[in-house]
Every structure is written in C-alpha cells, then in structure tokens.
Homo-oligomer: A and B are copies of this chain.
Amino acid sequence: MYENMITIDRASSESMQKQIRRQFAIAIINRNLPLHKPLPSIRKLAAELNVSLNTLILAYAALKQDGFIFSKDRSGYYINPNIYPEFGGFDKFPELISKKRENSFDFKRYFKNHTYDLPRITKPEDCLVRFKYPFICGLVDPDLFPIANWRECLRDSVNVVEVKNWAADFSNADDPMLIEQLIQRVLSKRGVMAHPSEVLITVGGQQALFIAIKMLLRRKGKLGVENPGYPDVANIALMESISVKPLPIDRYGLKITEQLLECKSIFVTPSHQFPSTVTMPLRRRKSLLKLSQNNDIFIIEDDHEAEISFNETPPPALKALDQYGNVIYTGSLSKSLLPGLRIGYIVADSEFIKEAKALRHHLIRHPAVNNQRSVALFLERGYFDRFLSRLTREYKYRSNIMSESLDHFLPQCSTPPSYGGGSFWVKLNKKIDTELLQQKCMPEGVYFEPGVSMFIDDIKNNYLRLGYSSIKSSLINEGISVLAKNVDQLLQ
C-alpha cells in the first residue's frame, strides 16, 4: 500500500528523508491514512521503499516533532488527531498545503467563461434538521415511508439468481419487471398505454429531461419553456447551446398563443404546473396537441406530481391523447418514492427510445440494476400503491391546514387552485422581496423557496413556494404565523 503512496525520486535534490516526510504529511492532512491504525513499522516500510532504516527513523522522528504522529509504547506510531480542524488543528500547516498547490493549473479561470454552475434551486443540506418549520419542496417525509416493506424488497432482490444478472453489464439492461410494473401500475393511471419497447429507465427525472432535450434539439431550434417554470430545463438548454423561449402561463397552465409556433420543442408540466401548481384542463390539452402536431413541434411532457392528486384526478396525460407520437413523456418515482433512489423514465415512440438508449449508453451505460429490481418488487407487491394512498391522504390533510392557515394569517396573499402535489405557490404584496423575506425567516426556523429563480424573464420578486411534504401538520399553523409576522414587518 505504501510503496505507491510514497514515491521516492532518487535523482531529486531533496533528501529521501525529506521526501518521505513531506509525502506522509500531505497524506495525513488529506486524510488518506486511517486515524486509529498504527503506521507501518520502520523495518517493514524501509524494506518496501528500499531505503535504509536510518532514513525512516529520521523521517518518523521529524513527523513526530511536527505533531503529525505520536508513538505508543510497543504498538508503534499513530496519527495525531489533534492536527485536524475538528480537534482545533490544521491551521498550523498552511505552508504544506500551499506547497502542493503552488504552480498548479488554474481551473477556476478555465471554467470562468463556460461554467456549468448555473443558478438553480438549492436547499441547505441539513434543511430537514436545521429548520423547525421546513416548508421544503420535493422531499418526502421519511416517517411516512414503509421501511419494513422496502427492506423486504431489497432482501428479495439479492438472491443468487439476481446477482448473476447484475454481474453482467448489459448496455440495454432495463429490468423487464420494472418496465412491466411501471406500465401497469404507474403509467396506466395516467392513461398512458405503453409497449415495453416504448419505455426507457433513467437516473431520475433529471436524466429523462436531459436526454429528451439533447435528442430533440440541435443548435438551430428553440426550446419553449413555461414562465415561471422549472429552471433546470432552461439550464440544460443553455449547457447544450440551445436557445430558450419563455412562454406565458395563466391559471390553466401554458397559454396557447402564436409564440408557440416559434419553438421546435416545448417543455410543459400540464398536471401540476411547476411552480404554480395549476392543472391544464382537457380542452386546452387537446388544443396544445393539435397545434403541436399540425406544426411538427415536439412536446416534452413532465407529468409532475400527477400521482399525488386529491380532490380531483387530473385529466389524462398529453401522452395518453397522443396518436401522432410527438409527445415525449418524462416522469420519476422520486417525488413519491425516495428521491435518493433516482429512478425515472421516458415514454415515447419505440424509434425514439432506441436512440435514447444509445445516447444513455454513452452517458452512463444504464441505471443501477439492483435498484431497478428492488423498485420493481416494491411496485409488484402493491406497496407503492399503498404508500401512495397514505401519502395522498396525509398531503390532503396538510394541504387543508395550509390553506386555512394562509387564509387566516396572510389574507392578502393569493394562491392558485391546486388539486394535489405537495406545495403552494404564493403571491405576496408587490412590495415584498421574498429573498429578503427568506433571510429574515431562516433564523426563526422557517424555510421556504423564493420564487425568483423560477422566472426566465419578466422576473417577479414577490412569489414564494411553500412545500408541505416535509413539515409535520401540527407545526404548519405556527410556521405560517412566523412567516406572516415577518411579511408584516417588511410592509411597515
């Protein structure tokens, strides 16, 4: 192990002792060595590196004097934990760290004019534990997840036969069982009737969108996006040098206007428009289909949160009404299952899927095979359906509390009608800047998403997204009252 970590350059002007000492120090600072295990004995390492015992004795002694290591009687040398920042150390050795970095290639400058670090919705990593009132969107309440059922599916997916299948690295390896279950239990509820050759598994909904956009658009064509809309889609277009055309929405979702004709493809979220949560009625869906089909415009349909619907079922997906094949349907189990599992899908014409599979091969080969099987079992055994109805029941309950609470504490705000999902899109007084409001609310334990990053142009600062998928129902009222108090303070 050490013979590769420590490289001795016998032609160097630096002594071998110093080379060993410096490389050990860097390895320790970078945490490349286990903290509570003894370092190799002097005798053993000297043989491995083919240096004299004396060289190593001196190197270890210097490391000890510098505070990197200490010796325990008989059991040898150990790393001194006090050098690490969590034990108050690390600052002592800036010269060593900077030595490694001096004269190195300047990647920061290299990426400056073509960065992928585009503005996007980010949540603090510790948002679920840090905030008492987490009005966070897109996270599932872990307490609602049937962990025992999931564990059972995991266990059953790891039998000898299955492992033999994973050992293979098939570029076309979508689990037929998962495809079948998606068709029967997920897609059919949205009216989408798909043949197995028309479905592709992706790493979450994000990859489904990336593949669809990359395949449909070349540099010449424009991608139409809802405004406000999902910022990651505009970002993907930017990455791929595709221009974006913002399209207006109203309380029935994407408006059918002449502007649509300028687009080669249109990204749309008809079931619960992102972020406004409104549902496109059947009549408008048909108009959109007709217009797009008559003009050979592709539709990328993200059937966002359609599976979590209460009060009223949304109309069938655009894909369900599409006989022509210009609708590329993308979806994900992340919102309703666990986001961390990253299982998404594309439904489209089998020729499209064939190409998408070839593209996916070069991007990632295929999504992890074991997760495909575990999720397939979870669907097949009905656990998913049961979990979904539990989630829907709970979300409906929370949604009602949210609605009443907003009416009571923020009567001047307005929210569009919504038939499900897990969030509200709230419009506040024009004078309110919701990014400022967020800064004021966070120290009081309230977290929400300011709406500004969802606008492509015609940017408005007085919108916010309030998620209720992660907040306990008993805390909603209190959280909204804290939010309202801060709104009032900003208005004074």
Contacts and interface: CB of A to CB of B under 8 A. Distances in A.
Interface of A: 1, 3-5, 7, 23, 26-27, 29-34, 100, 103-108, 111, 114-118, 120, 122-123, 125, 127-128, 138-142, 145, 147, 150-151, 154-155, 158, 160, 163-173, 180, 183-184, 187-191, 193-196, 202-204, 206-207, 210, 215, 218, 232, 235-236, 239, 296, 313, 316-317, 320-321, 323-326, 334, 338-342, 348-349, 351-352, 354-355, 358-359, 361-371
Contact of A138 (B169, B215, B236): B169
Nearest to A29: B195
Given A34-B184, A100-B323, 5 more contacts: A4-B320, A33-B188, A147-B160, A206-B361, A364-B364
A363 B206 contact: yes
Contacts of A348: 107
A105 B338 contact: no
Contacts of A180: 31
A111 B355 contact: yes
B191 A4 contact: yes
Contact of A193 (B27, B127, B215, B361): B27
A368 to B, nearest CB: 5
Nearest first, the 10 closest Cβ-Cβ pairs linking A and B are A166-B340, A169-B339, A340-B369, A4-B191, A107-B351, A117-B358, A116-B359, A203-B364, A142-B167, A104-B325
Given A189-B4, A362-B239, A30 B105 contact: no
B320 A171 contact: no
Given A210-B362, A365-B206, A368-B371, A191 B7 contact: yes
B362 A114 contact: no
| Copies held by the complex | 2
Nearest to A369: B340
A184 B32 contact: yes
Interface centre among A122, A141, A340 (most CB of B within 10 A): A340
A206 B364 contact: yes
Contact of A354 (B117, B145, B188): B117
B120 A361 contact: yes
Which one of A167, A173, A239, A352 has the greatest number of beta carbons of chain B within 10 Å? A167
A141 B104 CA distance: 42
Nearest to A317: B4
Contacts of A355: 107, 111, 115-117
A296 B348 CA distance: 44
A207 B364 contact: yes
B363 A104 contact: no
Contact of A5 (B105, B128, B191): B191
Contacts of A371: 368, 370-371
A184 B34 CA distance: 7
A73 to B, nearest CB: 26
B172 A340 contact: no
Nearest to A161: B142
Contacts of A362: 116, 118, 206, 210, 232, 235-236, 239
Contacts of A170: 123, 125
A166 B352 contact: no
A1 B361 contact: no
Contacts of A202: 364
Nearest to A348: B107
A303 B349 CA distance: 39
Nearest to A190: B4
A360 to B, nearest CB: 9
Given A4-B190, A107-B349, A180-B31, A341 B150 contact: no
Given A32-B194, A203-B203, A364 B351 contact: no
A20 to B, nearest CB: 13
A166 B117 CA distance: 24
Contacts of A29: 195
A132 to B, nearest CB: 17
A123 B317 CA distance: 37
A104 B107 CA distance: 48
